[in-house]
Each structure stands twice: as structure tokens, then as C-alpha cells.
Copies of this chain bind each other. A is one copy, B any other.
Amino acid sequence: MRDCSKILIAHGGGGGLSYQLIKELFLPAFENPVSKKLDDAACLPLQGKRIAFSTDSYVVKPLFFLGGDIGKLAVCGTINDLAMMGAEPLYISAAFIIEEGFPLDTLKRVINSMKEIAKETGVLIVTGDTKVVEKGSLDQIFINTAGIGYIDGDLNISGSNAKVGDVVILSGTIGDHGIAVLSQRDGFKFESRLKSDCAPLNKLVSKMVEKSKNIHVLRDPTRGGIATTLNEISLQSGIEILIKEKDIPIRDEVRAACEILGLDPLNLPSEGKLIAFVSGEDAHLVLQAMREDPLGKDATIIGEVSGNTQSRVLLETIIGGTRIVNLPEGDLLPRIC
């Protein structure tokens, strides 16, 4: 572990320090065949069946932003983590830690968002917990959701399954969530009507897995953006990924905001997008299925797995050069999800 004795913001940012913390502290402590895989959810045997199990805490600030709020994010986030294993999300837990004095009406709005998404997706919120801490011990409210999904017999989707010849599909524009949240934060008051893309991806995924048994990897590029997601997959699978900058869909508002703020759009979180690694022969079938879903209408091929076995991500830039896309380092955006 890097020589630092204290937890830094970057330890939670999804980039290099997060990866180091997991590899050097959490994995050795909790070592078992499942946790080693480093996927969005664990794939677990249960009485001859397979389930997916995932957890995430949400500390987003502000609590409400265009296109969503902490409640919607908490339910969608866990649904998406399960969906990224090809699982059908079934059950969700909701644990609230609330600062004393938090307005009850605001809590009601948050819970209502969670209710709406649960209803829309058919997922049941089945168990919960509420802790209240003294004023000043927590900034407003944090929510944890964990979820259980069912994985059908013949699916085998994991970040470690990317193969030479796979095509990399992205379901739509990147960074919308990151810029939507930042633009509404104190100190970042630039004009933007950009909405977060926060959305549940389970229906999109079910359409995809229905069409092809050759989807090898699914991952939603949240914390750390597609730079992190692609690096993780390249490390897990031991492959080199080539992507083309010109093919990555980015909204003009996101691009402009990144220029103002000095951010790389590849590091920005999305909350309703996915990356799929699909065998070349099935790529167009999967792409077509994705484009028929509202959440996949802008789906496009952004790259491929090369024949090189070096774990790295290469970007062909718009001007024609090639650069390595690193796992982001330093202080990534805190409290964006």
C-alpha cells in the first residue's frame, strides 16, 4: 500500500487508491473464492441455485439533483450492480443513517423516490434499518442498499471473462450523472440543465441476455467512469482493450463542463449506462436489442479486445494518436454517488 497512514478521499473514489485498498487490505482479510473476482456483485451458490449479492452506500451531495435524488440512486445503483451479473434483481434492503434534526418531509421525499423505482422495476424492498446519530456526526443522510438477484443457469458474466475478439459496446453518453451532480453543488454554480442519467438497467440487460449467450462482461461505469471500469476489466481478464475517442458518445454540455472544471470525461460517473463485452459475431445482434430499449437507444461500439495480453487500456485519440488510459489517481470527485 502507498505510504500513507490515513484514509484519503481517493481511497473511496473508485480509482487507483480504491483498487489498492481492496487488493491489499480487504481481499486478504476476507479471502474466499467469490470475493476474489472483484465484480459488481458476488455470484454465490445457494442450494443448487446461483444468486447475485451486492451492497453500496450512497453519500451523494446534494441529496436532490436534476434527474434523481439519493433514494432513486440507492435503489437503481443496487439493481444495476445485480443486473451487471446478468441477474434478475429480486430483493433489496434499505438502511438509513440519519443526522438528528433531518427534516421528516425530506425523508418522505427520499423514501417516495425509492418506492417509485421499486414499483417500476418490480424489485421488492424487504428489510431495513434506521440509525439516528447526533447533530454534527453525519452530513444529513446516508443510505445503504444491498440486493439479491437470481442468476439463470447458463449465464456466466464476469469482469474476468473478456476475450480476444470481443467487441466493447457502450449503452449511451458518459458522464451525465457526474456533471449533473457537480453543477448543483455549492461552489460549482455553472449553468447547466443537464439531468443525471440515473436509471435501472435490469430491463435493458434482460433484453440483451435474451438475444445472446455470448455476453462475457457487463459493467456500469459509475465511480471513476469508463477509465476505471475498462481498467478493472483489463486487469481482471488479463487483456488489452482498445477504444476510439471519436466513438465515445459525450454530450456537448458534459464536454463543456469538463473543459471548465479541468475534468476528463472518461473519469466521470454515469448511473444509467453500461459497458458490454460481447463476442464479435453476436455484437450486432446485441447492439440492435439495446437500441430498441429507451435506455440503450444511443448504444454504440467503442472498441475491442486486442490480441495483446498486456493488461492495459489504449485510447485512439481524435487526432489519431494513441495514449494509455490509466486507472485515475488522486482526489476523484467525492460524494458524487
Return chain B residues, CB-CB under 8 Å to A54.
93, 127
Pick from B59, B97, B115: contact of A30, CB under 8 Å: B115
In the complex, the answer to whether A132 meets B12 with C-beta atoms within 8 Å is yes
Pick from B29, B42, B131: contact of A114, CB under 8 Å: B29
Q: How far is the CB of A49 from chain B (nearest CB, A)?
A: 5
In the complex, the answer to whether A91 meets B53 with C-beta atoms within 8 Å is yes
Q: How far is the CB of A316 from chain B (nearest CB, A)?
A: 33
Pick from B6, B30, B102: contact of A94, CB under 8 Å: B30
Return chain B residues, CB-CB under 8 Å to A144.
55, 57, 95, 129, 144, 146
**So how many copies of this chain end up in the complex?**
2
Question: A98: CB under 8 A from chain B?
Answer: yes
- Among listed A103-111, A196-204, A205-213, A317-325, interface-contacting one: A103-111
Bits for A9-30, please: 1 = Cβ < 8 Å to B, else 0. Answer: 1111100001001100110011
Task: Give the complex CA separation of A114 and B144 in angstroms.
Answer: 19
In the complex, the answer to whether B30 meets A114 with C-beta atoms within 8 Å is yes
Task: Give the complex CA separation of A115 and B100 in angstroms.
Answer: 32
Residues of chain A whose beta carbon lies under 8 Å from any beta carbon of chain B? 1, 4-13, 18, 21-22, 25-26, 29-30, 32, 34-35, 41-42, 44, 46-47, 49, 51, 53-59, 90-91, 93-105, 107-108, 111-112, 114-115, 118, 124-134, 136-139, 142, 144, 146, 148, 150, 334-335
6 additional A-B pairs beyond A1-B104, A46-B49, beta carbons within 8 Å, are: A6-B100, A10-B132, A25-B111, A32-B126, A55-B94, A97-B142
Pick from B46, B49, B103: contact of A90, CB under 8 Å: B46
In the complex, the answer to whether B57 meets A25 with C-beta atoms within 8 Å is no
In the complex, the answer to whether B95 meets A56 with C-beta atoms within 8 Å is yes
- Tell whether A124 pairs with B334 under 8 Å between CB atoms, given A11-B130, A57-B131, A129-B56: no
Task: Give the complex CA separation of A336 and B8 in angstroms.
Answer: 27
Pick from B21, B93, B118, B334: contact of A53, CB under 8 Å: B93
